[in-house]
Structure 1
């Protein structure tokens, strides 16, 4: 470690002027450019290490600007992505909301990397990309860039399905203080934010703080139990019970965010960020009875603090360096649904409860080798420590898919006969003792060559290799051919492989059991056409094919492991327009399953019901076999439109709407269940009544959403906003729970769970001093 630190310290002290700030398409500088300049300027994008023109970027990138964020009615980043990113959607799940793009979705956000100012913020041991996705306050963000498709060649293992890159506000860009207050009904959500920027000769500062207190609403939550009784919790089902408060804060602790960035000494940056968020599980569960009181027991909570020192310098006319040294600490808890112990906060009532700390060193050297050749070479090293949560005794620690990784025999998560004891799966999967934790090291090297081989043609060759303590070397190569057909029209052919390591806790458990750690790998081929007919109007069209070996959670042994091989095809079409009075965009997405094959020894998965072989209902039931030919948990098509329009000098209107086709793959599961039990003793009148009830609720039918916001400029420094979500109302605004399909062996449609999201209305006042 000391040698690596020394190398980065030496590199960071090389004298030189500041390298230009990274600029990406969709941000303000591009709106004022001529078409000629727009097509020729080379910038750094989130999809590459070297400079390219905006149309040459080797990936589909959606840029959400600060103005988009300000004018869009969205509860959090998940909502915002669902508005603007082609095909993207999110679903509820027991560990929190899960995001999907291009048909790639799972029970946790492991297949995406989330970056803040270039630094990966993912939870490596369990939760993945969280908590940034669930924060209500987005006022510190300058832009969000979403890469659709593989990205591990640039940012490392984990980005097999996409990258979400957050860039915070630059210090000194708008000197002064900005405050806002807001309220959203029916979530009873109250917010207060404060930002300050200042600029002096020697430094520039940006500071942001916010608190958002959300009590949640008693939403209409639908579920069916294993006895085929079901309906809306607290209404026509379980009348003595209450559903969890939807969007309610974990233990009534409000969301907190603090971010400080200091630019100094011409080319140095230091920033520190703290987030705290937690919520009741979004999976339509019920409150838990503790001593006669119904409480929001189930939930997840996370706290994260990150600090980084960065320097971007130009060493010479042909050589530049970007270096970063960072520390991150992440505290995470997931509390279970039942009272396994009278003390709500006993480790016996938790699945996981831990913290992970990381020291990260990262550097990229870029060389203009010739007029026609750019080369980027980089390295990264991370040391991670997995141990007790912040302020916890080591006996309270729980890690692993079923909380089986504990400190030792004196763990407070051990209790003979308790159904949530850490050793409950012994002897097959006994508790693993790690004392006060364990450590891993990850080493990465990466390179990119950008070659303008002949006029109008570029070849982009990229590669990355990553290795950790419990994972052999992973390789992520990419080759992109970029052909400028005519001015403003570019065709790109991109072939690449993306890799993902399993969760840190699963890799440790596998190593403890002498099992080989296999990565998740995705091979992708994409043909992309980009056109910019004027500075105001642009088009994009992508055709892609993905082939991946999927790692997912398996309820049979409570592990994350290889579950099958997936092939799918897709298409995305986009149009975007920016004029003097506003902007607009639309997109269409189509994804179709080509093939799905379960891995040996795996009988079910959440990917598709097309290959399935699970015994249902025991000896009284039958076997559910493959049904249909579609992806589960996914609509095959989606259409999105959005726009901002300045109605009058002081009044701006935002509208957005989206349509998702029916989830045919989820309906396949219900059809297969009915076929499996037909003619068996499990095909009871109650079972048929449950299926009929699901049909009456139009489960998995198409979904339409419509949102709007009015922004009135009270004065040059103040604005008043009124906004609403789900304005079509009715019972069509269903937010489904992700169907893992690994424990659905009961003779009942228990896999059907959803929340009917209410119309919501909000008000926000923003004032700049």
Structure 2
């Protein structure tokens, strides 16, 4: 990106009460067992190739015929993972996926695309889009530490707009929960403890037959004080010592804020209910809340109006809540035609707290900064499917989407605040955030956009998919999605795929497609209202054209090989808070290799990803010396701040925030009639070529600077800047950062049979088995006379324990 200048709340509470009643009704009447469905973890490789995939297409495809590159993470793999949340589980399994941190939460990158907001990928739950289209993009669920309700996670590696619409540029993450249809006669109580993060949790799940209806319920509470006294590394030339860890320098008044501590001491909560009539109707509802600190700063050091130093209170935290309900009806109209009707309503609340005004409580509106809003989204769709039973399958339908941006749950319109250069508030006279203009971090009076009670946007969509089997044994799949948004140009995303089985063991897939991304609603609204310039006509969406070739081969009963090669050409677009801009053309290619091996009770999964930047051509109109991009330093022209600005010019040929090579390895072994399961995973990232390019770019700028034009005072200032830069570089070099990283996780799980068809399962998890891991911060490019953006937190070795009692 370019770096520059109420009813629902009550409904959510009601649903929570219903869940509580449900627990009391079913909790004492039956207890948990494993799913009746066959565990996919135990299927043979040949059977796995023919498992149906529900993500990435309008119709189901068996895994080897999916037009999209899909990574599927099964329930047992999730249960055995030592990763603390969904984002970490993805990092373990998805080839080449990068997981970075940020002050607002974890950021996920797939196939070279990552941003300071997760707006280049979509997040789904059971196929329902829960991405926040206003701010932060894919964030719901990703920081949840409790994963016991998840049946599997399907990840589209690469574009997916043809099925899911705007935003699926980098990929699609579909969290598929356990369902009433697939789980029966089951209950489980579970407790967990992670001492390093002062975290503990409790969960309960149960499934019961209620007449002709099947039901499944899950509830959990997890709380964490976070990692105390964390090691946040950040360069700081004015530091009076050689220590570069935030809050640990001699001049720091306060210590570092906790890492991953709960916002306002409110725990993570997850509630899920699924009902199925066993024929053609299903409805599920879900509520989650979370919020954790992800900051690289010290505790606040403020004094109140009486001059008393305020007790340690973290700043810059977010609170997110989400409620979604989705009914679905399927009907076979006749032996060839079918109809699926689906609706979903999801409501999200996002609030960012920044405790700067100590005369008010931490959760007071005066300690909210920039973002306090809810997003409500109603989606209704009708999909017809046709199968002639021989060679032709067709799915076609329509979708209606209405998205609203309003005040936080239970608040009137005066509590809405969304920032995008301008401050979107109700109005200047009544906004709660403008009542104390002398308070810190209040909206600027000269940069207001009044939105009254909020904003509402409509989108109409037509979507289709056609599969035709050729006589040669190959098949052609054509699909498209046509969106008609109220506040942007029409969006057309097509895909054409050719899929051929050379034998029962070998399949080749070739796909070409285009995906599009609209700006976040806060930016798209302002652009539509004020800035529809001719220069951006037809280009107000980010686009990605992709070509992918994939080959899958069952080499033997114990060896499965999958190879994906892709080429991406992307026109990147960003909004500076003032105008929509075409940022540049990005071209890259990559290859993903994955093998799965089995020897008796041992399975090995290994994958490797290589990505190479072919070209990053920044828009020449932006190369004025005032604009910078966070994609690559290979095309750059920017004057830094400082007493003597230096010119950062193009350097290197890599992607920022990315390692060119990435390898994942997972070994799972079962012993003692599968009672004991041992798992070891390794992640290896190396060749952060594009990230370290910034350091070399600074070095060259200083080495080639023409000092002959400087007067005596400026020459002294320049030499001071250079000395400070080289000193800071030395500290970074000593950390061996942005070079190579190898990290190991491990788990040990043992199951005891108890009386009355029950069992106890104890699991021990170790994260970062052989030492701390550098979790890098997403860099948007440095603007000072030294590189201030190479920042990371050192995540330590962490041991966790989970004990579950399961009943059949």
**TM-score of the superposed pair, with normalisation by structure 2:** 0.87
- SS of residue paired to 2:91: helix
CA distance in structure 2 between the partners assigned to 1:34 and 1:396 by the alignment: 54
In the TM superposition, what is the alpha-carbon distance from 1:91 to its structure 2 partner? 0.5
Match of 2:639 in 1: 615
- SS of residue paired to 2:766: strand
Aligned residue pairs, count = 731
**Residues 34/259 of structure 1: CA separation in 2 closer, same or farther (3 Å cut):** closer
Match of 2:669 in 1: 645
CA distance in structure 2 between the partners assigned to 1:445 and 1:616 by the alignment: 47
2:448 is aligned with 1:431: yes
8 Å CA contact retained: 2:406, 2:416: yes
CA distance in structure 2 between the partners assigned to 1:42 and 1:713 by the alignment: 28
**Residues 42/365 of structure 1: CA separation in 2 closer, same or farther (3 Å cut):** farther
716, 728, 739: which is aligned to 2:770? 728
334, 350, 355: which is aligned to 1:332? 350
Cα deviation, 1:243-270, whole Å, max 9, x if unaligned, reads 1210101111100000000112621111
2:503 is aligned with 1:465: no
**Residues 419/403 of structure 1: CA separation in 2 closer, same or farther (3 Å cut):** farther
Match of 1:658 in 2: 683
CA distance in structure 1 between the partners assigned to 2:369 and 2:742 by the alignment: 37
2:379 is aligned with 1:360: yes
In the TM superposition, what is the alpha-carbon distance from 1:717 to its structure 2 partner? 1.6
Match of 2:365 in 1: 346
439, 442, 448: which is aligned to 1:421? 442
CA distance in structure 2 between the partners assigned to 1:337 and 1:534 by the alignment: 60
Task: Show structure 2 runs of 5+ residues with no match.
Answer: 1-36, 304-308, 708-716
In the TM superposition, what is the alpha-carbon distance from 1:671 to its structure 2 partner? 1.1
The farther-off stretch of 80-89 and 192-201 is 192-201
- SS of residue paired to 1:682: helix
- SS of residue paired to 2:328: strand
Cα deviation, 1:445-472, whole Å, max 9, x if unaligned, reads 1111101122221111111111211111
8 Å CA contact retained: 2:618, 2:635: yes
80, 85, 88: which is aligned to 1:76? 85
Task: Show structure 1 runs of 5+ residues with no match.
Answer: 1-25
The farther-off stretch of 371-380 and 286-295 is 286-295
2:791 is aligned with 1:757: no
Cα deviation, 1:600-620, whole Å, max 9, x if unaligned, reads 225311100111111113561
In the TM superposition, what is the alpha-carbon distance from 1:59 to its structure 2 partner? 1.9
Match of 1:251 in 2: 264
CA distance in structure 2 between the partners assigned to 1:566 and 1:737 by the alignment: 22
**Residues 45/393 of structure 1: CA separation in 2 closer, same or farther (3 Å cut):** closer
CA distance in structure 2 between the partners assigned to 1:360 and 1:597 by the alignment: 38
Match of 1:400 in 2: 419
Q: How does 1:58-207 map to 2 (within 5 A)?
A: 58-171=67-180, 173-207=183-217
8 Å CA contact retained: 1:341, 1:349: no
In the TM superposition, what is the alpha-carbon distance from 1:63 to its structure 2 partner? 0.8
**Residues 240/461 of structure 1: CA separation in 2 closer, same or farther (3 Å cut):** same
CA distance in structure 2 between the partners assigned to 1:108 and 1:261 by the alignment: 31
CA distance in structure 1 between the partners assigned to 2:730 and 2:415 by the alignment: 46
In the TM superposition, what is the alpha-carbon distance from 1:32 to its structure 2 partner? 4.6
In the TM superposition, what is the alpha-carbon distance from 1:299 to its structure 2 partner? 1.1
8 Å CA contact retained: 1:272, 1:305: yes
8 Å CA contact retained: 1:380, 1:443: yes
In the TM superposition, what is the alpha-carbon distance from 1:286 to its structure 2 partner? 2.1
CA distance in structure 1 between the partners assigned to 2:521 and 2:410 by the alignment: 22
CA distance in structure 2 between the partners assigned to 1:417 and 1:252 by the alignment: 28
8 Å CA contact retained: 1:565, 1:596: yes
Match of 2:289 in 1: 276
CA distance in structure 1 between the partners assigned to 2:239 and 2:683 by the alignment: 33
In the TM superposition, what is the alpha-carbon distance from 1:639 to its structure 2 partner? 0.9
Match of 2:230 in 1: 219
In the TM superposition, what is the alpha-carbon distance from 1:757 to its structure 2 partner? 0.6
2:320 is aligned with 1:307: no
The farther-off stretch of 284-293 and 111-120 is 284-293
Match of 1:4 in 2: none
Match of 1:391 in 2: 410
CA distance in structure 1 between the partners assigned to 2:700 and 2:142 by the alignment: 39
2:501 is aligned with 1:484: yes
Q: How does 1:19-30 map to 2 (within 5 A)?
A: 28=39
In the TM superposition, what is the alpha-carbon distance from 1:371 to its structure 2 partner? 1.1
Cα deviation, 1:628-661, whole Å, max 9, x if unaligned, reads 0000000000111002211323211011001000
CA distance in structure 2 between the partners assigned to 1:51 and 1:211 by the alignment: 34
CA distance in structure 1 between the partners assigned to 2:230 and 2:800 by the alignment: 17
RMSD in angstroms over aligned alpha carbons? 2.3
- SS of residue paired to 2:247: coil
**Residues 27/502 of structure 1: CA separation in 2 closer, same or farther (3 Å cut):** farther
CA distance in structure 1 between the partners assigned to 2:451 and 2:207 by the alignment: 46
CA distance in structure 1 between the partners assigned to 2:359 and 2:613 by the alignment: 45
8 Å CA contact retained: 2:237, 2:724: no
**Residues 270/237 of structure 1: CA separation in 2 closer, same or farther (3 Å cut):** farther
Cα deviation, 1:277-300, whole Å, max 9, x if unaligned, reads 0011x2422222343222112111
2:299 is aligned with 1:287: yes
8 Å CA contact retained: 2:497, 2:512: yes
In the TM superposition, what is the alpha-carbon distance from 1:484 to its structure 2 partner? 1.4
CA distance in structure 2 between the partners assigned to 1:756 and 1:558 by the alignment: 36
Match of 2:553 in 1: 531
**Residues 609/515 of structure 1: CA separation in 2 closer, same or farther (3 Å cut):** same
492, 512, 519: which is aligned to 1:502? 519
**Residues 402/338 of structure 1: CA separation in 2 closer, same or farther (3 Å cut):** farther
Match of 2:10 in 1: none
In the TM superposition, what is the alpha-carbon distance from 1:576 to its structure 2 partner? 1.6
The farther-off stretch of 112-121 and 578-587 is 578-587
- SS of residue paired to 1:399: strand
8 Å CA contact retained: 1:283, 1:754: no
- SS of residue paired to 1:677: helix
CA distance in structure 2 between the partners assigned to 1:333 and 1:493 by the alignment: 43
8 Å CA contact retained: 1:401, 1:560: no
